[in-house]
Structure 1
Amino acid sequence: MSNSAAQLAEVRERLARAARDTGRDPAEITLVCVSKTFGPEDIRPVLASGERHFGENRVQEAEEKWPALRTDYPDLELHLIGPLQSNKAREAVALFDVIETVDREKIAEALAKEIKRTGKHPKLYVQVNTGAEPQKAGILPEDADAFIKTCRETYGLEISGLMCIPPVDDQASPHFALLNKIAARNGIKIMSMGMSSDFELAIQLGATHVRVGTAIFGKR
């Protein structure tokens, strides 16, 4: 068994335990394996172990490695979890099944145009900057409701999820709870929150998707 496959088995056990401890069905929670900076030789053992949801930060890096992998595993679901530039909307819509980082009107407009042009409809999540960190992408929490409404009503986008990345030095639970509240009042069922260090806590607070990289693939 490869190292990544062995570490994946441990992550699956942790996920299942956290779900059961909260009275949830582990099958309700999607594990997104964050494969950014790792090559196909690291990713293939995880694919062979049955995982089909993967996260990448950069459009260009994903373009270089995923088309060939998708040929062998056509049922995989690729998530963009890094910031998206509006001039990369065409490539992002072509390549990704889920775009988790919709966070400003310029991006919403660019995605709407590309979706209309191609007829391809990736799932879209709004990224919320729950810690209001100036260096971090994401719509501010107080602007989230209006932005979601604009995406839906002005641009005709279906917003199916929310995503957040809590500040490194903060307790994560208030950020996860805040995302849950924003999701509830906007009728959103998908919450992508929690990473290698805190995904069990995120599951306790309602995460439907957890993004785990280091715990599976090792340090970058």
Structure 2
Amino acid sequence: MDDAQAAAGRLATIRNGLTRAATLAGRPAESVRLVAVSKTHAAQAIVPLLDAGQRMFGENRVQEAQAKWPALRERYPNVELHCVGQLQSNKAPDAVRLFDVIHSVDRSSLVVALARAMEREGKRPACFVQVDIGEEPQKGGVAISALGDLLETARAAGLPIIGLMAVPPADIEPAPYFALLAKLARDHGVTNLSMGMSGDYETAAMLGATHVRVGTALFGTRG
């Protein structure tokens, strides 16, 4: 099986899983969007998924994305590029120029940097606020107790906040964390949820995810 066929098969498997999960939850299939996380994978590994019709991709690092995506976007101009990794404030201008969606707004200093960059660049990527849903200090994300204040700060700064993002603790049943993030979103008046990865995207879709971030199940082991 060549790369194109393999990529199309993996993509179909995941899309079918998302459709099944959404249907079980009484949601339309199109309400769950697949972000193919292409971090650490070279352009030649991404092209087969692009050729199979995938158009939403996620990258962790600004510098890596800058090296890969300008050339790919010349060939595939309708790609939507998502920043799914931690973002340093000094990288905010580059991120605003490059990405269409930023999933990792998690502190007031980054809010300020992004607001300035958006004003300067005349471009306003949609933003998710990342929540430290499992109270893990080694991970990014705002503490649940500080979420309301950060959302207020971000909105006051003019950031287009569209939802919440979280990464549950590893090796623990994720469903309670997904349900908690969905409740926090309802409580704070946002509608989009970026949650669920290769091992749990169907569970996330059943519990309200609007964006799932899938890497390994699409690309295999990281390059």
Alignment partners' CA distance in 1, 2:93 and 2:34: 26
Alignment partners' CA distance in 2, 1:146 and 1:140: 10
Structure 1 unaligned runs (5+)? none
Alignment partners' CA distance in 2, 1:144 and 1:173: 20
| Residue matched to 1:163 | 165
Alignment partners' CA distance in 2, 1:169 and 1:38: 25
Shift of 1:72: 1.1
**1:83-121 CA distances to partner (integer Å, 9 max, x unpaired)?**
000010011001000010000011000000011111100
1:95 paired with 2:114, answer: no
| Residue matched to 1:69 | 72
| Residue matched to 2:38 | 35
Alignment partners' CA distance in 1, 2:50 and 2:216: 16
1:132 paired with 2:132, answer: no
8 Å CA contact 2:7–2:48 kept in 1: the answer is: yes
8 Å CA contact 2:125–2:160 kept in 1: the answer is: no
Aligned-partner residue type, residue 183 of structure 1: A
What is the number of residues matched between the two proteins?
219
**1:5-64 CA distances to partner (integer Å, 9 max, x unpaired)?**
221111111111111121111111100001011111111111111111000011000000
8 Å CA contact 2:55–2:80 kept in 1: the answer is: yes
- Normalization by structure 1: what TM-score? 0.97
| Residue matched to 1:144 | 147
Aligned-partner residue type, residue 175 of structure 2: S
Shift of 1:209: 0.6
Point out 4+ residue stretches in structure 1 off by more than 3 angstroms.
Answer: none
Residue 197 of structure 2: which of 195, 198, 204 is its match?
A: 195
Alignment partners' CA distance in 1, 2:34 and 2:91: 26
1:52 paired with 2:55, answer: yes
8 Å CA contact 1:5–1:216 kept in 2: the answer is: no
Alignment partners' CA distance in 2, 1:161 and 1:181: 12
1:178 paired with 2:216, answer: no
**1:158-196 CA distances to partner (integer Å, 9 max, x unpaired)?**
211110000002221111111111111221111000001
8 Å CA contact 2:7–2:52 kept in 1: the answer is: no
| Residue matched to 1:6 | 9
Aligned-residue CA RMSD in angstroms? 0.9
1:83 paired with 2:90, answer: no
Structure 2 unaligned runs (5+)? none
8 Å CA contact 2:124–2:159 kept in 1: the answer is: no
> Does the residue aligned with 1:19 lie in a helix, a strand or coil?
helix
1:206 paired with 2:208, answer: yes
